[in-house]
């Protein structure tokens, strides 16, 4: 026992990594259950959503705003948006759902946050890999024009979702009605984040207002990385950096400041 305590004291990072891994396994069982169908549904859900949107908009327009594939256009918008939405909403409840675990000395508030974050992004990176590989193999999509930039866009979007999610979690613990208010505020994002359009569709005075939405920048960044003949006119890297950094500092700073109320 003394030697084990010594190892814990000497390797705090190793201990915390084991704690986070154990929390990831717990999150996996809670989120998906013990059945394999839970994992399959995590992949099938965005695929079904994209298919439904393709069928709906194929009756409205014969050509997507970019390229010739409806499936590819909506996939480059819907899947990144769904990943953000999952992070923002699932992380909101991370403190309230893991209060019992906070009584253990080795478990910190941030451990539960990172465990859920890692599970979500691992799931959606798998979704992206399976979905776009299928489109490429079946001839519905080409290879991405700039794979490195596409991966960077998704990763940075996940950090933005992490910032929004952990900030939501802190606010929820301080203000119990916040989930309902956030649900109302965030509902228009599905329509103004570039899932169904590209910024050049609108005149500049409308685009200037839409540019305040960071999600539109991330989705347009991802599309510009995928399509060889598309260049984003709205993407602003410094703007995304400042917004994401501000949210991460606010969320994790708030979690540390209000630690007693979160536990």
Residue 61's pLDDT is: 66
Residue 78 CB-half CA count within 13 A: 20
Q: Are 81 and 157 a contacting pair, CB within 8 Å?
A: no
Residues 6+ apart with CB under 8 A from 53: 74, 78, 195
The pLDDT profile of the chain, 263 residues, written as one tens digit per residue, is 344 444 545 577 777 788 888 888 888 777 766 656 666 777 777 778 777 877 777 677 667 888 888 888 988 998 999 999 999 999 998 988 887 777 777 778 888 899 999 999 998 998 899 889 988 998 888 999 999 999 999 999 999 999 999 999 999 988 889 999 999 999 999 999 999 899 988 998 999 999 999 999 999 999 999 999 899 999 999 999 999 999 999 999 998 888 776 66
Q: The tokens 């759902």 sit on which residue?
A: 97
CA separation for the pair 183, 155 (Å, rounded): 24
Q: Are 47 and 135 a contacting pair, CB within 8 Å?
A: no
CA separation for the pair 87, 159 (Å, rounded): 9
CA separation for the pair 220, 200 (Å, rounded): 11
Q: Chain centroid to CA 76: how far?
A: 14
Overall number of domains in the chain? 1
Domain that residue 231 falls in: 2-262
Q: Are 74 and 52 a contacting pair, CB within 8 Å?
A: no
Residue 105's pLDDT is: 74
Residue 109's pLDDT is: 82
Q: Are 17 and 114 a contacting pair, CB within 8 Å?
A: no
CB atoms within 10 A of CB 106: 13
What's the whole-model pTM score? 0.89
Residue 44's pLDDT is: 78
Written as six digits, the tokens of 81 are: 């948006």
Residues 6+ apart with CB under 8 A from 189: 81, 85, 213, 215
Q: Chain centroid to CA 223: how far?
A: 16
Residue 5's pLDDT is: 46
Rg of the chain over all Cα atoms, to the nearest angstrom: 20
Residue 71's pLDDT is: 84
Written as six digits, the tokens of 230 are: 């598309």
Q: Where are the beta strands (DSSP E) in the chain?
A: none
Return the closest-CA partner of residue 112 out of 207, 260, 252. 252
Residue 3's pLDDT is: 41
Residue 36's pLDDT is: 60
């Amino acid at each position: 026992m003394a030697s084990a305590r010594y190892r814990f004291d000497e390797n705090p990072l190793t201990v915390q990594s084991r704690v986070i891994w154990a929390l990831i396994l717990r999150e996996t069982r809670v989120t998906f259950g013990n059945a394999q169908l839970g994992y399959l549904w995590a992949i099938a859900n965005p695929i079904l959503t994209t298919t439904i949107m393709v069928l709906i908009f194929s009756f409205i327009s014969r050509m997507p705003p970019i390229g010739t594939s409806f499936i590819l256009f909506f996939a480059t918008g819907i899947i990144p948006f769904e990943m953000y939405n999952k992070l923002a909403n699932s992380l909101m409840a991370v403190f309230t759902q893991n209060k019992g675990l906070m009584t253990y000395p080795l478990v910190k508030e941030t451990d539960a946050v990172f465990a859920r974050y890692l599970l979500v992004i691992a799931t959606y990176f798998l979704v992206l890999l399976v979905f776009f590989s299928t489109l490429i193999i079946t001839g519905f999509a080409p290879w991405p024009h700039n794979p490195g930039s596409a991966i960077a866009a998704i990763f940075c979007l996940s950090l933005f979702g992490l910032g929004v999610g952990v900030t939501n979690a802190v606010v929820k613990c301080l203000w119990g009605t916040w989930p309902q208010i956030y649900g109302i505020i965030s509902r228009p994002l599905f329509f103004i984040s570039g899932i169904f359009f590209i910024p050049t569709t609108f005149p500049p005075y409308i685009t200037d207002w839409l540019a305040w939405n960071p999600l539109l920048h991330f989705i347009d960044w991802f599309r510009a990385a995928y399509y060889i003949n598309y260049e984003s006119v709205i993407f602003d890297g410094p703007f995304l950096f400042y917004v994401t950094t501000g949210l991460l500092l606010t969320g994790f700073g708030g979690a540390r400041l209000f630690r007693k109320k979160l536990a």
